[in-house]
Amino acid sequence: MSSGPEYTEVEQPFIDQLIQMGWKYTTGNLDHPTGSGRESFREVLIRDDLEKALRRINLDREGRPWLDDDRITQAVNAVPGRVVRGGRGRSVRDARWRERAVWSAQRNALRKSRVESC
């Protein structure tokens, strides 16, 4: 972490705002990616957190989960982000693209479950 103006005026206030909104903040360790739930620093997706979130937010009207393990796995695998290029001069797919991929995977899983139940 830095103590310069970029950190104190931009990064830390943004981190604080995300925490207030319910986001989990993990500082991690610059030498060990496993401290942040990843196998490598090239991974931008924390798979376990995404799986838990998909289970938590996809409940039926009675509060029971309606996505089975296969559909959760399908949705997680549809999200690019297991390994990305990073660093100066390289692009990383924007968050909106990943968000659309999750919604698309969920929509496809829902369609499949509706077809199977007919």
Angle formed at CA 29 by CA 38 and CA 75, multiple of 5 degrees? 20
State pTM to two decimals: 0.53
Q: What is the per-residue pLDDT for 79?
A: 82
Domain boundaries, the chain: 1-31, 43-117
| Residues of the chain predicted below pLDDT 70 | 1-2, 81-103, 110-118
100: three-class secondary structure by DSSP: helix
